[in-house]
Structure 1
Amino acid sequence: MMKIVRPFLFFGALLFVAVHMSQCASSPKLQDSIALDLGEPYYQSWIAGVKGGGSGFDVYIPIKNNPNHIILDSVYFRDRGTKLEEIQPGLFRGRLDSSLNKSDIIMSNAPYAEYGNTLPKHPKPLPFELKDNECILGYREHHRKKYFKISGVIKKEPLYYPGTPPKKP
């Protein structure tokens, strides 16, 4: 009788641990507050003035004061995420490119002309539910990854670049 019960107990415990661990990894917990003084975050759409130059959004996170030396590393906005870079002291930018206005696919009726085409990249679904004026700020505090939701992200006038957008202002 014990020989029959032992494998069921083992597999039951293994299943319990696997389900418990998968739920922890799939839903990051949002923090209620963040130990830094945020300015007014905003976003700006942009489009390059040349064919194939690209388009997208830039999300800006201004920081007034960071007494605990929190490291900002990512932003999630409109079903996409990207790394943050500090473009000037106290101002972080996340650039979210879109597939519009890009000419990276060769369309031809010649047999081997389309050989170099790559499959389009589909963004991974975010583990967060966001409205159009919300973003998630990813950061590290005391070597632990944390997330904070920012509501009321302001929309600014779009930028129209004559060429491709500059990498750094």
Structure 2
Amino acid sequence: MKTVKQILGVLIMLVFMISFSQCSSTKKLQEKVPIAIGKVYVQKWVAGIEGGGSGLYIFIPVSDASITLDSVYFRGKATKLSVKYQNKNMYVGNFINPSKQKHDIIMSGDSKAEYGNTLPPSSKEQKPIPFELKDDECV
């Protein structure tokens, strides 16, 4: 009887562990898009002041405003999409280029004087995208 309880306990644990092993969702791409997407285009932008930055806007027109797009991958980067306020069927993503401006830091023999220094932005903060894309492709 003790052996049967042990076997039953092991089987229940095994079933329990197997049922949770498939819980992690993997990102899978759909081959066919459920909505009609119009002509996607990119526009470069530059700030009007020195050190203001530059980047790219990506515009994605969709036919159905009831479907929500979250993010876009383009040229090795990812960004969140937002709805253009004048047109609910237009999603806009903003890719900001890293600033080329030198960051001022305080170098002193007194560590208290260096308290306000911050680390420069790291290019490693962005996770690599999980697939290969050409320069004119986005997902």
Short-chain TM bin = 0.5 to 0.7
**Which residue number in structure 2 is paired with residue 84 of structure 1?**
82
Q: Which amino acid aligns with 2:77?
A: D
Deviation at 1:131, TM superposition (A): 3.0
Q: 1:56 to 1:15 in 2, by over 3 A?
A: farther
* DSSP-derived class of the 1:80 partner: strand
CA positional deviation for 1:86 = 1.1
- Larger Rg: 1 or 2? 2
| CA distance in structure 1 between the partners assigned to 2:94 and 2:66 by the alignment | 23
Greater percentage in strand: 1
Distance 1:10 1:115 in 2: 56
2:133 counterpart SS class? coil
Residue 84 of structure 1 deviates from its aligned partner by 2.1
Larger relative contact order (C-alpha < 8 A, sep ≥ 6)?
1
TM-score, normalisation: structure 1: 0.57
Q: Which runs of 5+ in 2 are unaligned?
A: none
The offset of 1:55, in angstroms, is 2.4
Preserved contact between residue 72 and residue 80 of structure 2 (Cα < 8 Å) = yes
Structure 1 residue 49 displacement after superposition: 4.8
Alignment: residue pair count? 130
Write the letter of the residue equivalent to 2:93. Answer: G
Question: What's 1:134 paired with?
Answer: 137
Unaligned regions of 5+ residues in structure 1, if any?
Answer: 137-169
Q: Residue by residue, what CA displacement relative to the aligned partner does 1:27-65 show, whole Å, maximum 9, x if unpaired?
A: 2442512333x32101233333534312222111134x4
Alignment partner of 1:117 is 2:118 = yes
Distance in 1, Cα, partners of 2:104 & 2:19: 48
Give the structure 2 partner of residue 32 of structure 1.
32
Residue matched to 2:67: 70
SS at 1:134 equivalent = coil
Q: d(CA) in 1 for partners of 2:129 and 2:20?
A: 22
Change (3 A) 1:116 1:15: farther
Equivalent pair of 1:106/1:113 in contact (CA under 8 Å): no
Q: What is the aligned partner in structure 2 of residue 2 from structure 1?
A: 4
- 2-structure distance, mates of 1:47, 1:16: 53
CA contact (8 A) 2:81 2:91 kept: no
SS in structure 2 at match of 1:30: coil
Q: CA deviation at 1:97?
A: 1.7
TM-score (normalizing by structure 2): 0.67
Change (3 A) 1:31 1:114: farther
Paired residues of 1:85 and 1:92 also in contact (CA < 8 A): yes
